[in-house]
Amino acid sequence: MTYNWLRGLILWVPTAVIGIWEYVRHAFLLPYVSMELGNWLAPVIVLLVTLTLLRPLFGKLEHMQQALQREQVGKAALEEREQLAKELHDGISQSLFLLSVKLDSLDRSRSKEESGRTMEAIRGTIRHVHDSVRQFIASLHEPPVAADTAWLQSAQALADELEDASGTATIVEWDIPDGLFGRKEKVELLAILREATMNIRKHAGAGRASIRAAILNQTGHGETSFRCIVEDDGIGFNREDLTGKGKYGVRMMSERAVSMGWSLRIDKAERSGTIITIEGRCNET
State the average pLDDT over residues 15-39: 85
Per-residue pLDDT tens digits for 183-195: 778 878 888 898 8
pLDDT at 247: 56
Judge whether residue 210 has pLDDT over 90: yes
Task: Point out the least confidently predicted range of 112-126, 132-146, 226-240.
Answer: 132-146
Judge whether residue 21 has pLDDT over 90: no
- Dihedral of alpha carbons 137, 87, 247, 190, sign: negative
State the average pLDDT over residues 4-21: 82
Distance CA 90, CA 100 (A): 16
Distance of CA 164 to CAs 7, 40, 139, 158, 251, Å? 45, 62, 17, 10, 26
Q: What percent of the chain has pLDDT over 70?
A: 78
What spatial distance separates the first Cα and last Cα of the chain, rounded to whole Å? 25
Per-residue pLDDT tens digits for 82-106: 766 666 666 666 677 777 877 888 7
State the average pLDDT over residues 263-276: 88
Task: Point out the least confidently predicted range of 71-75, 132-136, 225-229.
Answer: 132-136
Per-residue pLDDT tens digits for 218-245: 655 556 889 999 999 988 876 665 555 5
pLDDT, greater one: 244 or 171: 171
State the average pLDDT over residues 155-164: 87
Judge whether residue 146 has pLDDT over 50: no
Cα 228 from chain centroid? Answer: 14
Helix or strand run (H / E) with residue 264:
strand 263-268
Distance CA 282, CA 261 (A): 9
Task: Point out the least confidently predicted range of 18-27, 115-124, 202-211.
Answer: 115-124
Judge whether residue 53 has pLDDT over 90: no
Locate the domains of the chain by residue range: 3-72, 146-285
Of the pLDDT bands very low, low, confident and very high (cuts 50, 70, 90), residue 277 is very high
Of the pLDDT bands very low, low, confident and very high (cuts 50, 70, 90), residue 71 is confident
Task: Point out the least confidently predicted range of 77-81, 169-173, 269-273.
Answer: 77-81
pLDDT at 239: 62
Provide the CB-side half-sphere exposure for 147 (13 A, CA): 20
Distance CA 241, CA 274 (A): 12
Distance CA 217, CA 47 (A): 50
State the average pLDDT over residues 154-171: 87
Judge whether residue 124 has pLDDT over 70: yes
- pTM across the whole model: 0.52
Judge whether residue 159 has pLDDT over 80: yes
pLDDT at 66: 81
State whether CATH 3.30.200.20 applies to domain 146-285. no
